[in-house]
Structure 1
Amino acid sequence: MRRRLVCALALTTSLLTAVGAPSASAGSAVAASCAPGQVCFWTEPGFAGAPAATFELSGANVEQCVSLPNGVDALSFANRMDRYVTMYQSRECATEGDFSTYPGEGVFVPDVPFTVRAFQIWEKP
């Protein structure tokens, strides 16, 4: 019985280590392509390629609906601002479609549960 428990713990530890390593390197790569103070959007899940659109507070007013450029429908994003950001399925930030609010300072979402077409930045909590 004790031997089975030790084997199970060893297997669990090795699986967790193997699963954790790729996400750490993926997060580092995303952080390198999305600067602090930016919100970055990718058109493919998993942060594939370079960001298709990036925004900073200097170009997007707080509490204003900001539509992504035409042709950019985001399937992954990173929020490296120190503010909460709400992502919308609608280009007009309508609440009839899907929307979710994410905290700031390093939120990386590799597979958004809906296509993001607009966002709003909020005042610091």
Structure 2
Amino acid sequence: MLSIIRDIPPHVFGVKATGQVTADDLKSVLLPGLEVLTQNQNDIYYLLVLETPVENFTAGAWFQDMVAGLKHFTKWKKIAVVTDETAVEKFTDAFSYIAPGESKGFKLSQLDEAIDWLSIK
């Protein structure tokens, strides 16, 4: 399930993933949130808090995630992924080399640091 994170800077869109994440979650939460953000801000500052293993994302969810990434490819400015999965954190750090903008992985205990990092335009 994806839920919107409140109480973060208005130029940041954040979601928390718990349990199983499906294509419907991305279609009903992530994609509309990114649409509103790009209409209001033009740039994407994105916070993803993974409180579930990446194995809990269905194939359809990964496909919708790819669609979101490609649709807004030039608008990504900063992506923070907060997780205790070391491989995901390292992948996020490396993602900056192949995609526009900056990507950075954080541990769950560093959520406030991730929000602070995203706060800086």
Smaller-chain TM-score range? 0.3 to 0.5
Q: Which has the higher helix share?
A: 2
